[in-house]
Structure 1
Amino acid sequence: MGQKVLVIGSGAREHAIAHALLRGGSVDEVAVAPGNPGMEADGIRVVSLGSSNQAALIDFVKDNGYDWVFVGPEVPLIEGIVDAFADAGIKAFGPSKAAAQIEGSKDFAKRLMARHGIPTAGYATFEELDPAIAYVREHGAPIVIKADGLAAGKGVTVAMDQDTALAALEDIFVDHRFGNAGAKVVIEDYLEGQEFSLMSFVSGTDFWPMPISQDHKRAYDNDEGPNTGGMGAYSPVPQIGQDIVDTAIETIVHPTVEAMAAEGTPFTGILYAGLIATADGPKVIEFNARFGDPETEVVLPRLVSDLGAGISAILDGETPDFQWKADGATLGVVVASEGYPGNVIKGAAIPAIDTDDDSHVYYAGVARDAEEHVLVASSGRVLLVQTTADTIQAAQDKVYEILDNVSTTGMFYRHDIGSKALNA
């Protein structure tokens, strides 16, 4: 008998995790709570339980004989869902509430890095508007303004001029755009270089890095428009040399997991390091306590070993085996509702998208229209089309051939995902 696994979350990231678990072989049933109806086509069970409803999720796991749980999003992790599962005798893959602070508070993460000499941008933290304004005026632009807490990837302003920086501070402190997440603000030095994402499976001080990827944060082509949760990604990232990745593992990932353990908050789960390759070497932009989205949808298809067996081994205190595709490239493009990331216009009809063995559609913000029995857009990011090919150029050509031949009325997508690699 194969294992039964519950994945918590509802987006394309969780769809990709569930799909990879089923592909591996050791897991033969995956439920996703709350999931979305687009997942069902892959044989994934969708369970309408909210990701913060700890008691109901514990009951579901016990009543249905699930072996372990994979927690996808940051909010339930920061709320301590892994601790609640542990108290109920259920194995869950993800960090404790204490360890999840590495994402839940940017100030926590910055202080941890300062104490342990982990390379990151210089910074200052403020709890009031006036001293923050004074700092920006004294410091000048470019400068980066970040809400301290969770803001769904939208709480960061890279201000190329002083007015933009001051407007971002007003947004946070005066208009309370991010609620409690903006009770503190972290102001960082601007770093120059190409960004990349380095995710690792972690168990205490042991970790297993994944292939790197590059996300595209801005809404529109040529990196224009507002910051989003991510509009597409690709892996590998040929313009970031293996020497830079090795340095990042040695100077960032390794000391970070050691620091978390040494300070009594050992990390288990997925540690996401959002990094930038500067002239002075790789530096940390941010840490997340879980898989990135959309990076997961292009990294996990490169896994050739069994994801479920690997995670199960970690949960049992054994050494996992993770093997990755050595060649080729995987690229994914997000299709979003008009208006995203601002005032989202929902309800666009989702077209049928034809894919082959080397491509897949991962659904995020979709709902089923009860009358028409079709999928419709229900939030900002709607779906991601992923494809794997021999080269980034071939993967890019293929994914856009798929997208350009379906109707995306009421939605939009970037047309240049992966171009940084091609123009490098």
Structure 2
Amino acid sequence: MKILVIGSGGREDAICKTLLKEPTNTVFCAPGNDGMRLSGIKTISIDEDDFSHLTNFVQTNNIDFTIVGPEEPLVNGIVDFFKERKLKIFGPNKKGAQIEGSKSFTKKIMADAKIATAKYQEFTKLEDAIEYLTNEADFPIVIKADGLAAGKGVYISQNLADAKNTVSELLDGHKFNTRKVVIEEFLLGEEFSLMAFVDHKRFYPMPIAQDYKKIYNDDQGPNTGGMGAICPVPNISTQITQQAIDEVLEPFVKELYQQGIKYTGIVYAGLILTKKGIKVIEFNARFGDPETEVVLPRLKTSLTEIIVSILNHKKISQIDWEENNLNLGVFAVSKGYPQKPIFGDLGSVDDFKNCPLSINFAGVRKENHRLISNGGRLYLMQTKAKTLKDAQDLIYQNLEKMNQENISYRTDIGKNAL
């Protein structure tokens, strides 16, 4: 089959590589990145929000179907645009993508479905938000930009001064184009991610994963798009996972359908196991990043067949996943990320080709047979092993062999599972 994947990061690299496990597939990625080409992915320099050029490419090249990686084109209605032209595309339409595009929309869906989540308030006026923080809030508290913020629009404020500064940045300075904020209670517990393939009322859960958002070891510093991930999560039991499927995923998918949203694509649930049980932190409308990089390598069933079945609304009898070993992935990021990434040389193409572990490329470009940083998150190194320690040893031994001049990375990914 000829397949187009839209996006340019490590998640899209992982999706493409999974599709390429079938030698008869030809996989294009738009816009992709220069690192992807090292593994036979054909990159196309069309921006992910350039819907007209993307549909022209699909029609001209007889693409069988398209997979959307990032949230922004989904929220902007790429699926609707493709479907109007009778083109097959995997992802929710604009209405469905609101589960990520609007936190207040999703909070209402959860309330209607009686799904446990943090207590919250919404604000569009700065003075109202500050009054609430001053007179009613308990600290620490979570402040979220209501729209898209590339995984960086969530803040944990420890005190009133910090909280005031954050809501001012969002509602007065309109950081991330924010017009509304959600202020919610801080939840304490063990976080994990649960993704599922969704076909209207039917859904097919994936193995749970755990990602690490903070930039520094021991979960210190500002939030990032994700510094690494592990799958499965040894310290979350199969009973808790099943409970999350029964009490979160199933009622959420059912509620979407009952409200007239015929959702097709991926639902991502960001969850936390608290002393009072499982609660939802967020829902997303696409594959998680970096969770995808450690979840998809465990897939035994053909990803192509899964997606074709869902696009044709055919029931899937079974999806098989590897049950032994665990997968660990660690992101190398630009020094200075997430605030001010410093770009520079990452090493020769041969350094990456000769690495014995799998690498998913993100913010990189090629120049004179060398890879140069071209973003915040650069590449994720991934492996599988019988134990977490074995996986960590493999990853960090190989990361240490890479050019260290312009990268940094956490050295404790997977620590919760020890």
TM-score normalised by L of structure 1: 0.95
Instruction: Provide the rounded CA distance (Å) in 1 between the counterparts of 2:210 and 2:197.
Output: 18
Query: Where do residues 350-369 of structure 1 align in structure 2 (5 Å cutoff)?
Result: 350-351=347-348, 352-353=351-352, 354-356=354-356, 359-369=357-367
Provide the secondary structure at the position in 2 that maps to 1:178. Answer: helix
- Residue 237 of structure 1 is aligned with which of 233, 238, 241? 233
Instruction: Provide the rounded CA distance (Å) in 1 between the counterparts of 2:3 and 2:32.
Output: 13
Question: In the alignment, does 2:145 pair up with 1:173?
Answer: no
Instruction: Provide the rounded CA distance (Å) in 2 between the counterparts of 1:115 and 1:143.
Output: 24
Where does residue 93 of structure 1 map in the other structure?
Answer: 90
Divergent runs of 4+, >4 A: none
Instruction: Provide the rounded CA distance (Å) in 2 between the counterparts of 1:80 and 1:103.
Output: 13
Question: In the alignment, does 2:385 pair up with 1:412?
Answer: no
Question: In the alignment, does 2:118 pair up with 1:121?
Answer: yes
- Residue 45 of structure 2 is aligned with which of 44, 48, 55? 48
- Residue 147 of structure 1 is aligned with which of 142, 145, 153? 145
Provide the secondary structure at the position in 1 that maps to 2:345. Answer: coil
Question: In the alignment, does 2:179 pair up with 1:157?
Answer: no
Where does residue 300 of structure 2 map in the other structure?
Answer: 304
Where does residue 19 of structure 1 map in the other structure?
Answer: 17
Q: Which amino acid in the other structure matches residue 28 of structure 1?
A: N
Where does residue 345 of structure 1 map in the other structure?
Answer: 342
Instruction: Provide the rounded CA distance (Å) in 2 between the counterparts of 1:96 and 1:87.
Output: 11
Q: Which amino acid in the other structure matches residue 277 of structure 2?
A: G
Contact 2:334 2:377 in 1 (8 A): yes
Question: In the alignment, does 2:324 pair up with 1:327?
Answer: yes
Provide the secondary structure at the position in 1 that maps to 2:18. Answer: helix
Question: In the alignment, does 2:52 pair up with 1:72?
Answer: no
Cα displacement string for residues 6-27 of structure 1 (whole angstroms, at most 9, x for unaligned residues): 00000010000000011145x5
Instruction: Provide the rounded CA distance (Å) in 2 between the counterparts of 1:174 and 1:408.
Output: 39
Where does residue 130 of structure 1 map in the other structure?
Answer: 127
Instruction: Provide the rounded CA distance (Å) in 1 between the counterparts of 2:88 and 2:118.
Output: 36
Contact 1:244 1:281 in 2 (8 A): no
Provide the secondary structure at the position in 2 that maps to 1:349. Answer: strand
Contact 2:138 2:185 in 1 (8 A): no
Question: In the alignment, does 2:182 pair up with 1:197?
Answer: no
Contact 1:350 1:377 in 2 (8 A): no
Contact 2:102 2:146 in 1 (8 A): yes
Instruction: Provide the rounded CA distance (Å) in 2 between the counterparts of 1:177 and 1:81.
Output: 24
Question: In the alignment, does 2:281 pair up with 1:285?
Answer: yes
Contact 2:345 2:370 in 1 (8 A): no
Contact 1:148 1:183 in 2 (8 A): yes
Q: Which amino acid in the other structure matches residue 198 of structure 1?
A: L
Instruction: Provide the rounded CA distance (Å) in 2 between the counterparts of 1:153 and 1:271.
Output: 16
Where does residue 272 of structure 1 map in the other structure?
Answer: 268
Cα displacement string for residues 286-320 of structure 1 (whole angstroms, at most 9, x for unaligned residues): 00000010000000011112111111111112123
Contact 1:350 1:408 in 2 (8 A): no
Instruction: Provide the rounded CA distance (Å) in 1 between the counterparts of 2:165 and 2:140.
Output: 14
Instruction: Provide the rounded CA distance (Å) in 2 between the counterparts of 1:365 and 1:297.
Output: 15
Residue 72 of structure 1 and its aligned partner are, at CA, apart by 0.5
Provide the secondary structure at the position in 2 that maps to 1:277. Answer: strand
- Residue 182 of structure 2 is aligned with which of 176, 186, 189? 186
RMSD between superposed Cα atoms in Å? 1.1
Residue 348 of structure 1 and its aligned partner are, at CA, apart by 2.9
Q: Which amino acid in the other structure matches residue 86 of structure 1?
A: K
Contact 2:325 2:384 in 1 (8 A): yes
Q: Which amino acid in the other structure matches residue 382 of structure 1?
A: L
Residue 282 of structure 1 and its aligned partner are, at CA, apart by 1.0
Provide the secondary structure at the position in 1 that maps to 2:150. Answer: coil
Question: In the alignment, does 2:194 pair up with 1:210?
Answer: no
Q: Give structure 1 stretches of 5+ with no counterpart.
A: none
Residue 199 of structure 1 and its aligned partner are, at CA, apart by 0.4
Instruction: Provide the rounded CA distance (Å) in 2 between the counterparts of 1:106 and 1:255.
Output: 18
Instruction: Provide the rounded CA distance (Å) in 1 between the counterparts of 2:162 and 2:324.
Output: 42
Instruction: Provide the rounded CA distance (Å) in 1 between the counterparts of 2:399 and 2:214.
Output: 19
Provide the secondary structure at the position in 1 that maps to 2:273. Answer: strand
Residue 243 of structure 1 and its aligned partner are, at CA, apart by 1.2
Residue 158 of structure 1 and its aligned partner are, at CA, apart by 1.3
Instruction: Provide the rounded CA distance (Å) in 2 between the counterparts of 1:408 and 1:46.
Output: 27
Contact 2:267 2:287 in 1 (8 A): yes
Residue 350 of structure 1 and its aligned partner are, at CA, apart by 3.6
Provide the secondary structure at the position in 1 that maps to 2:255. Answer: helix
Residue 225 of structure 1 and its aligned partner are, at CA, apart by 0.9
Where does residue 78 of structure 2 map in the other structure?
Answer: 81
Contact 1:276 1:284 in 2 (8 A): yes
Provide the secondary structure at the position in 2 that maps to 1:335. Answer: strand
Instruction: Provide the rounded CA distance (Å) in 2 between the counterparts of 1:312 and 1:17.
Output: 15
Instruction: Provide the rounded CA distance (Å) in 2 between the counterparts of 1:251 and 1:221.
Output: 32
Residue 160 of structure 1 and its aligned partner are, at CA, apart by 2.4
Instruction: Provide the rounded CA distance (Å) in 1 between the counterparts of 2:145 and 2:416.
Output: 28
Instruction: Provide the rounded CA distance (Å) in 2 between the counterparts of 1:127 and 1:73.
Output: 26
Contact 1:24 1:305 in 2 (8 A): no
Q: Which amino acid in the other structure matches residue 101 of structure 2?
A: G
Contact 2:363 2:376 in 1 (8 A): yes
Where does residue 376 of structure 1 map in the other structure?
Answer: 372
